[in-house]
Amino acid sequence: MSVFKNFEILPKFRVTFKDMIKGFVSQLNSKSAPTLYYSSISPPALSALMVAKTLNVEVNLKNVNMLTKDYLTQDLLEVNPQHTIPTLVDGGFSIWDSHAIAGYLVGQYGQDDRLYPKDSKRRAQVDQKLHFDTEHLFPCVHETVFPLLFRGKSDISKFTRKKVERTYLTLEEFLKRSDWLAGNNVTIADLCCCSSISVLDYLIPVREAKPRLFNYIQRCSALPHYQDVIQKGVDQLGNKIQESLISTYI
């Protein structure tokens, strides 16, 4: 009598054995898919998801409602004491800040270093543009979006508009040197910055008077996953802003 026939005599054990195998496979699958705490109206979260999708890294999305303070839940606080999004949990490792997540994903899952070069000079160029996002682009996003979404404002201040236009001019200068922000191929600098730029362009459109930036945005919009990640997020954020503007007049 074969071993498999013995299992027929012990059906209860056979079921238990199958359940054990399923559980083991399930554990392997859960470990192979990092969890991304995410919001579709958060440009940094869109950046992190864009990098993951570009690398073909499957992530379990855990949606955090930024409008109802879901980011203060104990679940998120346990993995990120700063309770910011995006936050990535990969096994027992957690990391937050979209730029840090982008670099980690490339190092951990990338098949090569094209998105985040190992060459020190090329990497420095990428890092420089990531810092530009931190220091200039995202603050502009915050100063345009926050008053409209949370302060009941109905327009963007002249000061903020001028600040955004100056930032556009700087980007126009960057793009005189190369087609993409940190060279002639796409890097995580583009995948991160294009979400901030896309939100700003939605609120304060980039005109053809800045042809390099205008064309850059068109190139970004043609990137794989741009439409289903960044454009979808920008549209949802735009809808939230419209709802907020309407509510101020009711």
Task: Give which of 212, 190, 214, 219 is closest to 201, Cα–Cα.
Answer: 214
**Numbered ranges of CATH 1.20.1050.10 in the chain:** 120-247
pLDDT at position 31, please? 58
Asked if residues 50 and 226 have their Cβ atoms less than 8 Å apart, the reply is yes
Q: What is the pLDDT of residues 97-127, one digit of tens each?
A: 999 999 999 999 999 999 999 999 999 999 9
**Numbered ranges of CATH 3.40.30.10 in the chain:** 34-109
pLDDT at position 150, please? 85
Q: Give percent above pLDDT 70 in the chain.
A: 84
Mean pLDDT, range 224-237, rounded to an integer: 98
Tell me if the pTM is above 0.95: no
pLDDT at position 192, please? 98
The residues with which 211 forms a beta bridge, in sequence order, are none
Q: Where are the beta strands (DSSP E) in the chain?
A: 35-38, 60-63, 87-90, 93-96
Whether residue 89 has pLDDT greater than 50 = yes
Q: Which of the two residues, 18 and 51, has the higher pLDDT score?
A: 51
Whether residue 93 has pLDDT greater than 80 = yes
Three-class SS of residue 60?
A: strand
Strands 87-90 and 93-96: antiparallel
User: What span, in angstroms and rounded, lies between the C-alpha atoms of 85 and 38?
Assistant: 6
> H/E element holding 109?
helix 98-109
Q: How confident is the model at residue 74 (pLDDT cuts 50, 70, 90)?
A: confident
Q: What is the pLDDT of residues 163-178, one digit of tens each?
A: 999 999 999 999 999 9
Which listed CATH number (3.40.30.10, 3.40.50.2300, 3.40.50.10490, 3.40.1190.20) goes with 34-109? Answer: 3.40.30.10
User: What span, in angstroms and rounded, lies between the C-alpha atoms of 81 and 63?
Assistant: 18
CATH topology assigned to domain 120-247:
Glutathione S-transferase Yfyf (Class Pi); Chain A, domain 2 (1.20.1050)
Q: How confident is the model at residue 162 (pLDDT cuts 50, 70, 90)?
A: very high
Asked if residues 105 and 95 have their Cβ atoms less than 8 Å apart, the reply is no
Whether residue 22 has pLDDT greater than 70 = no
Positions marked active-site: 42
Q: Which of the two residues, 94 and 69, has the higher pLDDT score?
A: 94
Locate tokens 């990137």: which residue? 223
User: What span, in angstroms and rounded, lies between the C-alpha atoms of 2 and 102?
Assistant: 52
Asked if residues 87 and 95 have their Cβ atoms less than 8 Å apart, the reply is yes
Q: What is the mean pLDDT of the chain?
A: 88
